[in-house]
Structure 1
Amino acid sequence: MQTNGDGNRRKQRFRERLEVLRDSELHRHVRRHLPSGGWTRRQWIHASLFTTIGIMVATIIPGFSSAIPAPKATHATLALELPELEGDAAQDHAGDSWQTLRIKPGQTLGGLFEELEIPATTMHQFLANDDFKALMRRLKPGTEISFDMPVGGTLRALRYDRDLSSRVVLSLKGEKVVEKVIPRETTTRTVVLSGKVGSSLNRSARKAGLTAANINALTDDIFKYDIDFNSDLDSDDRFSVVVQQTWREGELVATGPIEAATFTVDGKLHSGFRYARPGSTAEYFTAQGRPLKKSFIRMPIPYARLSSKFGARKHPVLGTMRMHKGVDYAAVTGTPIMAAGDAKVQFAGVQRGYGNVVILDHGRGYTTLYGHMSRIGKVRPGQRIAQGTVIGYVGSTGLATGPHLHYEFRVNGAHRNPLSITMPPPEPLGGAQLASFKTQTRDALARIHTVESAIYADLEPGTPVESKVDRAAVTEVADATPAKGQKKGGKKKAGTRKKRG
């Protein structure tokens, strides 16, 4: 504690130093300004003023030093309870962490372990676990695996997601691998994603939240028969789809297939709804229950040239006039050949002048034949396949002068011209299936109408709404669509849209 005596002595020493300083400065000033004849009245006034100021400073400043008390430092100690560490974590060393790596295209598990400088013997220890081995068999680019690697130490554990709702942690305990499954909570929501075509349908659809698989389904499965996506679309045309999204810990981890979709092109509404008939795979139907997929595609090979038509002709190899019972499509060897419709494989092998050939039975008396293949695809007699399945590849086996596909269309055994025959209409839904489909369709349409009414100002008034969509879905859609007043692309001139037959 500072006493009053100490303070007084400090003041006295300070005054003495200040007076010495003042005298020296005054002396220097006098020597510089004093004329040879003595001081003037003005100089004496200045000297007196400086002296007065010096005395006042010497008196006031030491008083401040003792008048202002120094702040007292206060300290407080608070005890915090920390959670107990589990298991091996309690023995971790400073700097330990999980390292998460993502599988690159072409990368193997061995390459991943080598990148982390983990011995192959350790990798084989983990491969002794059946679950981990199964994961490695279906290892795909983008798969994430995390490694617990102490700094300067060896691998202690690894973890990965078995599926969307469970994570597996494999820990090394000596020579044994201990498995622990950690449940991860997920939530699934049915949402509506919507947008306008703008300058690019693909870009707008991805911005709206559709996956690449969703976009392919929109253009190749649902609307490819009704909309020409190369020439029919305009920037103001809009689309809306109903999908299920799976969320985990605030992150979107999966988007399901399109359950329902609408596409408004030049003011005309096109719609499609996903439905699975009992015992068959899911497909898309119109609102009236008619399949959107046609029973047959006329051209089972893409990007090919029609080289020979149906009818009588001179055979290019035999040189005789014969009935050409099909049509020929010239294409490069190895070009994929697709099934013209859903079918059961009737024959797959070598047959006389056809070379490698596949015959498909589509039911109701309809069969198709595909000849001169370079090789047959992964199909076998008795197998049921879907329309568009690759059944073989273009070649020149059998009686052929060059690579091409010989394609025949038969009705009850009689050959018909594939280019001119009226294709049978697809079988629509009926009875209990149609009633179930209508119920499902009504809910999906109501969701779409609700969202479109909220985000599109030009939606026709009076659209019936039978149920409300989640507010989260509306928000997501609104973020993915142009704001009101945003500049839109110009309309095409009248008559530029191509109408498909």
Structure 2
Amino acid sequence: MPLTDHGRIRKQQFHGRLGVLHHRLLHRKLRQRFPAAFNTRWTRRHWLHASLFATLGALVATIVPGFSSQLPPASQAHATLPLSLPPLSVDAPAAQPGHQWEVVQVERGQTLGALFARMGVPVEVMHRILERPGNREALTRLKPGTELAFALDEQGRLRGFRFDRSPTERVELHVDGDEIHEKVHERATTTRIAVTSAEIEHSLYAAGRKAGLSPAAIAVMTDEIFTYDIDFKDVQPGDRFSAVVEETWRDGERIGPGRILAASFTTGGKTYTGVRFEYEGKVGYYTPDGRPLKKSFIRMPIPYARLTSRFGSRKHPVLGTMRMHKGVDYAASPGTPIMAAGDARVQFVGQQRGYGNVVILDHGRGHTTLYAHMSRFGKIRQGQRVSQGTVIGYVGSTGLATGPHLHYEFRVNGVHRNPLSVTLPPPEPLKGAALAAFRRQTAPTLAHMQQMEKLMFADADAGKSGGKADKRG
């Protein structure tokens, strides 16, 4: 055999012996790592133990998953186990009678009687509630959105009734048979002073609402403060106003329209200012120097009327003869209210020949006014003091009249004057103690309003002044 073949055989024998040694060494290491039971030949006892452990393992694997859903995860700090509770009894006790209040809101056009009928309360109970002092006025003038609360017992009988008598009073009534017990709760309110200014873009009303004024506050400006000085039909875009308003708040809500303490209005390049002042029970609006804004007389004592006959000589429409017409005639629908032209004392109320139903007012300082052909009189009597604007009667056609109208006369020391052109006496300005009190009371209000106007309109005024300066230059 060649040498090369002999060498190859020796090499194969060497690798065979090396493999046997490696196998023995690995077997020795495994024997050292595992328990003795695994290193010896298993007896019948070993196989019995192994079968027992295998059976126990199978049982555990079957039972443990059933408990796993009831055990909380290891990551949770606590768990809530669902517990089955007994069903609620159908005969659970009801709330105590009169302890549950049902609140209802008054809807537009809804009456108190309709609300009580809706709650199943007899009308007799409602009348007993209205008979209590102070309740009728509050409950018969309900506004949409007003809240009323009813407490009924299990038989549907009224046990309690709750409403707001005023912004500061809440009345709670407890009904016990024929008796009604009343408890009044005072509701705390706060007063805030708000200052607002705005420039008119489209209309005064829209600008006023945008500035936060209520419709009632806007009406005070137009119909009370500036009614004698400004014709609001002529208001233009660019005109502006400011107002200081005293607001009442309750539970975070503004209640009531808020009365205007001061207001200014700029139109046609002129600014008018009015300040509210109360002195000795009388309230009015004055200029900043203490002169009343309210004029002594109003030219037209009847609203929305048409002038049909002027002052002077004319042919009488009934008698057909020429005679002096000592006043002016205003045509209006029957029943239109007639107002006192100024503060006065009722000198006469009754009938006078061709005048029919007539009222004569004495305004003092020799000034009197006469109102004739009334259909009926207002709630006035002879000798009574009336304020300007008080309704003294209603348009009619009594006496010598061809149709419903008001015949109005103005006299100075017994002499008839043309009501359309007579120079009316100016109102008396404040003097002495009244003027001093006026200055103390109104100074802070005027300062607030002037400060607001500077903030709101300073840039606009500067722009206008600059524009004029540039134009002149």
| Alpha-carbon distance change, 124 to 227 in structure 1, aligned in 2, over 3 angstroms | closer
Change over 3 Å in CA distance of 1:134–1:278 after alignment to 2:
closer
**Residues 1:276 and 2:278 aligned together:** yes
Higher deviation after alignment, 142-151 or 257-266: 142-151
Give matches, 1:185-200, under 5 Å. 185-200=188-203
* TM-score of the aligned structures, taking structure 2 as reference length: 0.73
CA offsets 1:270-294 (integer angstroms, 9 cap, x no match): 1001123435x31211112111122
Residue 307 to residue 151, structure 1, CA distance change in 2 (3 Å): same
**Greater CA radius of gyration, 1 or 2?**
2
In the alignment, structure 1 segments of 5+ residues that lack a partner are 14-67, 78-89, 462-501
The one-letter code of the counterpart of 2:158 is L
Which residue of 1 is the match for residue 342 of structure 2? 341
Which residue matches 2:286? 285
Match status 1:157 vs 2:160: yes
CA spacing shift, 1:153–1:10, aligned 2, 3 Å: same
Structure 1 position 169, deviation (Å): 1.4
Correspondence for 1:238: 240
Distance 1:7 1:237 in 2: 99
Distance 1:272 1:132, change over 3 A: closer
The residue correspondences of 1:61-76 to structure 2 (distance < 5 A) are 70-71=74-75, 74-75=78-79
Name 2:117's counterpart in structure 1: 114
Say whether 1:256 aligns with 2:258: yes
Amino-acid identity (%): 56
1:129–1:310 Cα change, 3 Å: closer
Aligned in 2, Cα 1:104/1:412: closer, same or farther, shift over 3 Å? farther
- Alpha-carbon offset, residue 366 of structure 1: 0.2
TM-score w.r.t. the length of structure 1 is 0.69
Contact 1:197 1:237 in 2 (8 A): yes
* Equivalent AA in structure 1 for residue 260 of structure 2: I
Give the match for residue 151 of structure 2. 148
**Does the 8 Å CA contact 2:273/2:287 hold for their aligned counterparts?**
yes
* Alignment equivalent of 2:182, drawn from 176, 179, 185: 179
Task: Give CA deviations for 1:190-211 in whole Å, capped at 9, x if unaligned.
Answer: 2223322222211221232322
CA distance in 1, matches of 2:55, 2:161: 71
Structure 1 residue 6, shift from structure 2 partner: 8.5
RMSD of Structure 2 on Structure 1 (CA): 3.3
In the other structure, the counterpart of 1:483 is none
What residue in structure 1 maps to residue 86 of structure 2?
none
After TM superposition, the structure 1 stretch with the greater mean CA deviation from structure 2, 289-298 or 359-368, is 289-298
Alpha carbons of structure 1 residues 188 and 410: separation in structure 2 relative to 1, 3 Å: same
Q: 1:446, CA displacement in angstroms? A: 0.9
Structure 2: state its 5+ residue gaps. 1-52, 63-71, 82-92, 463-473
Q: Matched residue of 1:458: which SS?
A: helix
User: Measured at CA, do residues 334 and 96 of structure 1 come closer, stay the same or move farther in structure 2, by a change above 3 Å?
Assistant: same
Q: 2-side partners of 1:185 and 1:146: how far apart?
A: 20
- Aligned residue number for residue 168 of structure 1: 171
Secondary structure in 2 matching 1:259: strand
Query: What is the DSSP-based 3-state SS (H/G/I as helix, E as strand, rest coil) of the residue aligned with 1:290?
Result: coil
2:244 partner letter? V
Q: Which residue type is aligned with residue 446 of structure 2?
A: L
Amino acid at match of 2:102: Q
Secondary structure (helix, strand or coil) at the match of 2:394 reads strand
- 2:89 is matched with which residue? none
Tell me: CA distance 1:286–1:73, structure 2 relative to 1, closer, same or farther (3 Å).
closer
Local SS of the residue matching 2:260: coil
Structure 2 counterpart of 1:352: 353
Instruction: Give the count of matched residue pairs.
Output: 390
C-alpha distance in structure 1 between counterparts of 2:178 and 2:335, whole Å: 51
User: Partner letter of residue 404 of structure 1?
Assistant: H
Once the two structures are TM-superposed, the CA of residue 70 in structure 1 deviates from its matched residue by 4.9
Give the Cα–Cα distance (whole angstroms) in 2 for the partners of residues 302 and 409 of structure 1. Answer: 18
**Distance in 1 of aligned mates of 2:251 and 2:298:** 45
| Superposition deviation, residue 127 in structure 1 | 4.9
Question: Contact 1:453 / 1:459 at 8 angstroms: preserved in 2?
Answer: no
State the distance in 2 between where 1:441 and 1:267 align: 25
Task: Measure the CA separation in 1 of the matches of 2:324 and 2:131.
Answer: 64
- Tell me, yes or no, if the aligned pair for 1:96 and 1:151 is still in contact at 8 Å: no
